Structure formats: structure tokens, C-alpha cells
Homo-oligomer: A and B are copies of this chain.
Amino acid sequence: MKALVYHGPGKKAWEEVPDPTIIDPTDVVVRVDTTTICGTDLHILKGDVPAVTEGRILGHEGVGTVVEAGSAVSAVAVGDRVIISCISACGSCSYCHQGLYAHCLADEGASGIGWIFGHLIDGTQAELVRVPFADNSLYKVPDGVTDEAAVMLSDILPTGFEIGVRYGRVKPGDVVAVVGAGPVGLAAMMTASLYGAARVIALDLDTNRLDQARAFGASDTVNSADADWIDQVTGMTDGLGVDVAIEAVGIPGTFDACTRIVRPGGSVANVGVHGAPVELALQDLWISDISITMGLVSTSTTPMLLKLVAQHKLAAERFATHHFGFDQVLEAYDTFGRAADTKALKVVISR
């Protein structure tokens, strides 16, 4: 088959590789019909994720069709159209039993983290992919849900919802600020409505992204380049700050901003992937009754979000801004890598 193979920092190729096969009785092989690219894939290509070794097939998102199933697989069958979750879960360890699949203890490889596709094992930017723990890692796609909507459930929508909205404890009537209007920030904005947010304030430096944010559920926008951006945000509350501040960038400045706009009793939910420590102003914050959360998506809410997509309550397909064939995957990377210019959110790559 053909696949997108990592050959060390800065090097990748769409090339012929051996087909994957069933190894364990809980495996299936899926023919990938649609995949996409994540910001993490760009980090890997820069060499930022040392666990990814040369020869690895990239990608952890996808929708496809089961073509072969191990003897212990019961929840899916050959021919089923499925979402491939970015998190692999054994279903029987103590973390899986509490729904914290991100920390599955039985994963393949050494990381102790449920994200293994395109990381510790070969991924989804390929014509075929082996999926371990298939019963707990695949979700059947109902009729009427398109591939380009379904593929947003592999990672981005559950990430915005679980790590942003749910960890942030958004509740009816809340004012929610989302700092960073990239794909995952937009996913948090879109799903904040599921807990009845009264206002969703999008913050970003890029006016194009702020314009897009309104289509994803933002009721208000603030350009964080403005000198008075904190006052603008506070002015949209009763003066005490927002109920929930969601960090969707991954740098110290935006994290710090979240701790400064949150009200006493509120929540800061960090979704961004950070590469450096941050300074926490505990001398001011110790008295503030806030919670600060962070984490990797478990995709435990994928089936629930899929119901809402099927009922047309979440317009997941809205993230798909550009479309490519499998043989255009390098072009897709280029478009996604220059998102500021191309205004790409998610690029959809289909068979």
C-alpha cells in the first residue's frame, strides 16, 4: 500500500510500504477512506517528538472501512464504516474502567499514554492501518454522517469538548472565553453550547480567525493585540471576570492571560500543548477559588458527539476548509502548514 512515511526531521514521503496485518486477536485492519492532518503532525516533522522514529507512518485521525478483524473482536465487523479514534484503549485497565483512555496502561510501546497512532505504531495517513484494541477504539458511523464530518470526531471535537468545555466545567449561563481561535479553540467554542453558555468570547491576534469564530458559536470577539483586551473581556461580564477561560494556544502568555480574566470561583482549562514552563501567580491566586485543569483527550465522548452530529446539532463538517486526494497528501501538508495564509482549518484527504 501507499503511506505517508516520516524519514527524520523535515523529511516525509508518500511511498509504497508493506500492508499491515492482524497481530493480536483484538486487532482489525481498516481501509482508510478519509484522513486529516493535526498540528501535532507538524511538530513531529520538525523533530519535536523524539518518540517518533524514522520509518513511522504518520497520522492519528481517520474514517474508514473494516477489511479484516481478529478473532476476539466483537463490536465491529468487516464492512463496517468506522471512526478511528486518536486514542487506543484496552478497555480493561484501571484507567480505561474510569473512562480515562488517554492513560490506558496496556498500550503498545513505552509511553504509558493512549495516543499511539503515528507515534508509537503506524498511523492513519495510509491506505490501510492496523487498529489495536478495536472494540474500544472504533466507532461505527451512522448513515447520513459524511466522512468529512466524522473525521472531526477522531480528535478535534472531543479534544475541545473534553479538555476545554468539560474540564472547564462550563454550565448554563456561563461566560466562556476561548483564547486561540485555531481548530481546537473553535471546537471548544462549538461545543460550549452543549452546556448552555450564555456568551462565548473568542480571543485571537488574527482578525480572519475571529471572523471565522462567529460561525463556530462565538457570540463576541476580542483582538488580544488590543492594549485594553482584558478590560474588553471583563466588560462582557458583571465586572468580575469570565466563568471559564479556555487556553487553546500553548504558550506562557496565553496561559497567564487566562488566569487574569477568570473570576473568583471560575475555571481555567488548558487545552494547548506547551513546550515550556509557565509562571503561576500563586501569591495572588491562592485566594481565588479557581481550578486549573489540563490533559490529553480520552475520546470517551466521541459516541455522544457523533449522536449530535447525526442529529445536525453540531456542524462538524464546518472545519473542513480544503479537500485533497490521497496522492495529494504532500500538497495537503503544505496548505495546512501555511494556515495563516491559506486560512485552512482542517484539510480533508480522501481516497
Q: How far is the CB of A256 from chain B (nearest CB, A)?
A: 10
Chain A, 1-31, CB within 8 A of any chain B CB: 24-26
| CA–CA, A198 and B308, complex, Å | 6
Contacts of A93 in B (CB 8 A): 75
Task: Give the nearest-CB partner of A293 in chain B.
Answer: B291
Taking the complex as formed, is A337 at the interface, i.e. its CB lies under 8 A from any CB of chain B? no
| Cβ-neighbour of A296 out of B272, B289, B307, B313 (below 8 A) | B289
A304 at the interface (CB under 8 A from B): yes
Q: A253 in the interface, Cβ–Cβ < 8 Å? A: no
Complex Cα distance, B279 from A97, in Å, reads 33
CA distance A56 to B278 in the complex (A): 38
Q: A272-B286, A288-B294 are in contact. Are A92 and B280 (CB under 8 A)?
A: no
Kindly state the separation between the CA atoms of A99 and B289 in the bound complex, as whole angstroms.
12
Query: Which of chain B's residues have a CB closer than 8 A to the CB of A273?
Result: 286-287
Instruction: Report whether A195 and B194 are in contact in the complex, using a CB–CB cutoff of 8 Å.
Output: yes
Contact of A287 among B113, B199, B280 (CB under 8 A): B113
A301–chain B nearest beta-carbon distance, Å:
8
A216 located at the interface, meaning its Cβ lies under 8 Å from any Cβ of chain B in the complex: no
Choose among A172, A277, A279 the residue with the greatest number of B CB atoms under 10 Å from its CB: A172
Secondary structure of the A contact surface, majority rule: loop
The distance from the CB of A110 to the nearest CB of chain B, in whole angstroms, is 15
Of residues 281 to 308 in A, which have CB atoms within 8 Å of B's CB atoms? 281-283, 285-296, 298, 300-301, 303-305, 307-308
Output the nearest chain B residue to A76 by Cβ-Cβ distance: B92
* Other-chain contact of A172, B92, B270, B272, B304 (Cβ < 8 Å): B304
Report yes or no: A98 in contact with B286, Cβ–Cβ below 8 A: no
Q: Given A26-B72, A279-B279, decide whether A172 and B195 contact each other with a Cβ distance below 8 A.
A: yes
Residue A308 contacts which of B92, B196, B285 (CB distance < 8 angstroms)? B196
The answer to whether A311 touches B278 (Cβ under 8 A) is: no
State the Cβ distance, A247 to closest chain B Cβ, in Å: 10
**When A72-B26, A311-B198 are in contact, do A290 and B294 touch as well, CB less than 8 Å?**
yes
Asked if A275 lies at the interface with its beta carbon under 8 angstroms from chain B, I say yes
Question: Would you list which residues of chain A between 175 and 204 have a CB under 8 Å from chain B?
Answer: 193-196, 198-199
Q: Verify if A102 is at the interface (C-beta below 8 Å from B).
A: yes
A118 within 8 A of B: no
B72 near A307: Cβ-Cβ < 8 Å = no
Report B-chain residues with C-beta under 8 Å of the C-beta of A301: 172
Q: Quick check: A283 and B292 within 8 Å, CB to CB?
A: no
Shortest Cβ gap from A313 to chain B (Å): 6
A interface residue numbers (CB < 8 A to B): 24-26, 70-72, 74-75, 90-100, 102-103, 106, 113, 135-136, 167, 172-173, 193-196, 198-199, 219, 238, 250, 252, 255, 264-265, 270, 272-283, 285-296, 298, 300-301, 303-305, 307-308, 311, 313
8 A-B contacts (beta carbon < 8 Å):
A97-B99, A102-B287, A102-B289, A198-B308, A275-B283, A279-B279, A288-B295, A289-B296
Further 8 A-B residue pairs, CB within 8 A, beyond A25-B72, A97-B303, A172-B194: A71-B71, A91-B96, A98-B99, A277-B281, A279-B279, A285-B294, A289-B294, A289-B298
